[in-house]
Each structure stands twice: as structure tokens, then as C-alpha cells.
Chains A and B, each alone.
Chain A
């Protein structure tokens, strides 16, 4: 459904690349998460794949449409939720959705049903400029599924939302995924990526470092992490070491050799720890 090949994009005419040589594919019904810290190039990648940014280098097909020859009908098949909410402030929540549904061919979801799903039905007739940030975000999110998209692009769908609402949104995503929607999710939240996606891509500094299923990642890195606490002269230090990495194995040997060990156990890594292992950096 989504096929990206060696996408490179620069906002500054080639001086600095926001993304470099990004390649991945998402099959029908699959959920793919681009996981990476802020500024990694997630939104830029999504921007290209949704036709908002021109394709500069590389190839991409989305829902059978070659992005070098964009056609409007592609947009009937995709839905896009934006990182920054963007709704008409002078229209009510309901009017926003009523307007947007008219911009598509084919059947749309009833706006009131959508508002109910995201918990905005009580304020359906209130103008969006009276909404809080979270409410605007939910409206933007609701709008992205009005045309019942086959491919759903979600840019940071839960960022900045309070936990109750975030889990509500997560639930909606799960339901749509279960009914066969293909999803491209960008996030710096590894819990979300872990929970929602079939495949995760680690992205940092515009480069896609690794793509795999969360399960494979954990199998490969998980059991082989050792958390060790040891005593130096005056403090207790803690280190997390991979048993896959040659240097880190040596480091563990050195620690055992030099210091008094307080505790030591292997444990399953979180996606975040794996991310740090792979990219050398954290997610924030």
C-alpha cells in the first residue's frame, strides 16, 4: 500500500537533508510506526507520502498512485491527521466535519458519529476557536477518518493529550486497524509504537536505521540485556549492557573483574532501550 524508495528531502535546496535515503514499505492492513525523537524527519516523511511536500529524490507509491504523478483521486483513499491541529476556528466542530466530508467522493462517516467517538458530541455546535488544544487535536483526528480511508497517516496522534483521551484515541486506532486499515504512524512514544504497530522503523537524523517487528526487536535485543549494579569507592553505579555487542560484553567482564557487584540480572528491553542501543540516542 505504501512503498518508499530512497526518499531524500531538503528544505534548504540541498544544503541540509531533512531525510536521507529513506526506504520502507507497508503492506495492506499493516501498521507501521516511524519511531524517533523530535526533528528526526518523521513529519517530513509523512509530508512527502501525503503529497504535501513535493517528492525531490527517490520514488514512492501510495495506494497505487505514483507520487511523481499525483492524482486527486488518491486522496479519496487516504486520511491524514496532523501533528499540529488545523481546523476552522470560526466553524463549529460539526460544521468543520460537514464541510470536509463534501471534499471527497464516495461515502463518508456521519460527522456526529465521529464526534461521539472522540468525545466531542457535547460540543458539536461550539465554535472550534473556543476549544482547548486537546479538543482541537481530537477534531483534527476525527476529521482524518471521515472518508473511511484505506491508508491512514497519523502524525503524533496522542502527543500532548491527557492519558484518558490518549487511550481513547489508541482504542479507535486499534479498532480501525482490526477492520483492515493500513496505518502509517509517526511518534516518539515507544509505548504507542509497541502497542499499535506491526513494524517499527527507527529514524534519527533523517535516516532510517532499522525496520523490524517489535517482537523481533525484543527477541534480538531483549533477553540479552544485562542490568548490573556495582560499587565504586563511594557510590553505587548502574549500567545496562548488551550481550550482543562485543565491546559491551568486554565492559561487563571488566566490571565484574574490577568492582564489587551489588546486583546483576538479565531482562527484556523496552523499545526505548533498544532504540538507544541501536541509534546511540534517546527518544527525547
Chain B
């Protein structure tokens, strides 16, 4: 039983690595993660983003530069203008009373607190007692690009797993090697499990590679595995269904790409929509997966939430499976 499953799995892996399209799908998430990592400014440099006046104390400016990006502007008006732009810039003006902070009101959670902490550091620079401000909470160190980019990429690779399974299946059909399988002693179950395993192993491998490349090394491994496996399942079912109904890898891939729409939709929705709109995304397993992974990366994940989210994903998957079951069965015959 096990040897046959492993035989099917290793055959797919071996054959896949010799197939340009499959090899590409296997490698591309890693490449994207590397690019993403290069795009994200190294942690620390991006701690704060402030604007100050030309007239500010050079020592203050250089101290701020140690903690993030500093823009220097001519006068108060220019500074206020800069602050009200869409990004998270906080203006700092030194007054005899202390440092005045000008915020636009649309800043990310935590931004103001961090700048406050840095300013406190400056104002207390003469004190002998060590200042106990440390930026240990990853949430603060994270750039949104690293945080959302990583979560998005991990949700996305689950589809790649399904796609590789699908392409291997299409190849079996195209070459009619499926007929040779059907006259061997391997059972349908062994074959399906062997074919499907790659759809779990590959996203797991991708997810941990991405987390490693992005530097999220202290996330909860168990929770990550649970989320990735549950989201891989639904991609796998789609992979199987599309694989069974397509004789040509090109048309199969384009069918699979339709799956990108709910993924992009629900992930971007989760990123940018106000939480009151989120119920409109509850139907999407990718929404729940994204939320889970986001919390894992922020190290705010707790088992209860993770399991609940995965339960939603599994329930949705089961409904999809129930809808497609007849087609799957017919396709294999």
C-alpha cells in the first residue's frame, strides 16, 4: 500500500522536475519570496518614518535616522502637507515645551506609539537610567509589505500545489498512461492519494521556504502546518477536477487561473476592506486562510482561532466537494 503510494508520488516529483512548466511552478514562489525580501527594507530601518524641519537639532535628526527614515522639510506648512499624504509619515517639530507630533490620523496602528517612544528616548537622553523601550513586538517591526506579502504568497502557493497535481494528471491522460495504471494492481485510492500528496507536500515546502526567506523564523510551526494543509485541500480538489476534465495542459492551466480570482479578491479584500465588509468574504476559504496566516506571522495566533478558521475552510471544502463529487467520479471512470 505505502510503497505504491510513494511510487506514484516520487514518479510525479521526478517527472515534474523534468517538465518546464511544473518545474517553473515549483520554483517561482521561492523566487517571488526572494524578490519580496529584497524589496522589504531591512527590519529596523523601517521602524519609523518622520518629517522634521530644516531647523531641527542635527543631533536629533541623526538620532531619528538611527530609527528609521527622516524627511527634512523647509517649513511648517510643507511638513503639514507631507503628513497629510496617504502614507504613514509623522511630523515632528521641536518647541520649547518639547517635541510636538503632527499625525494625519490615518496612520497604521502602532506607528504613533513607536514615534512617541523614539521621541521619549530623545527627551530623556540626559537621564542616566537606561531607557527600557525595546521594539520587541514583531507587529511593529513589520512592514506591511512583508506582512501581507508573505501571507498572500502562502495562500497563493496552495494553488500551485493543486496545479502541479493537475498537470501531472493531465499528462497521464494525454499519454494515456492512465490506462496502464488501470490495468495494474494499484487501487484507485492508492493512486489518488499518491497523486494528491504532492498537493500537500509542495505547499508545505513552499510555505516554510517563504517564511524562512522572509525571516519569520519564530512563528508557530504546528499552526502553520494546519492552515497550509487545510487550504491546500481545496486547491487540490480543484486541481483534480480540472485535471480530469482537460486533455491539454494549456487549457487546464487557464482553467486553474480562474481560481486566482477568488484568491486575489478575498485576500485583497481582507487587506484593504474595513472589517464591517468582511462578512462578504466569509464564503471564501482563502479569506480564512489569509487571516490565519496573517495572525501567525504577527505571532498573535491562538489555536482556537486557527482551528476555527480551518474548520470554516474544511466546511466550505466539503460543500464544494459534495457539489463536484459526481463529476469527479465520472471523470475517473
Contacts and interface: CB of A to CB of B under 8 A. Distances in A.
B3 A54 contact: no
Interface of B is mostly: helix
Interface in B172-191: 175-177, 179-187
Nearest to A104: B185
Contacts of B176: 82, 84, 86
B185 A75 contact: yes
B315 interface: no
A80 B180 contact: yes
Contacts of A87: 175, 177, 180
Contacts of B175: 86-89
A91 interface: yes
Contacts of A105: 185
Interface residues of B, number: 22
B184 A82 contact: no
A102 B186 CA distance: 9
A219 B175 CA distance: 45
A99 B4 contact: no
Contacts of B184: 75, 100, 103-104, 147
Interface in A61-111: 72-73, 75-76, 78, 80, 82, 84, 86-91, 95, 99-100, 102-105
B14 A91 contact: yes
A51 B333 contact: no
Contact of B181 (A73, A91, A95, A103): A103
Contact of A75 (B14, B171, B177, B183): B183
Nearest to B18: A90
Interface in B80-114: none
B19 interface: yes
Interface of B: 3-4, 7, 11, 14-15, 18-19, 171, 175-177, 179-187, 333
Given A73-B185, A99-B7, A103-B4, 11 more contacts: A50-B183, A82-B176, A82-B179, A86-B179, A88-B15, A90-B171, A91-B14, A99-B11, A103-B181, A127-B18, A147-B184
Name the 8 nearest CB pairs between A and B, nearest first. Answer: A103-B184, A102-B7, A86-B176, A90-B15, A80-B183, A90-B18, A103-B186, A75-B185
28 contacts: A50-B183, A51-B182, A52-B182, A54-B333, A72-B187, A75-B185, A76-B185, A78-B183, A82-B180, A84-B176, A86-B176, A86-B177, A87-B175, A87-B180, A88-B11, A88-B15, A88-B177, A90-B14, A90-B15, A91-B14, A99-B7, A102-B4, A102-B7, A103-B184, A103-B185, A127-B18, A143-B180, A147-B185
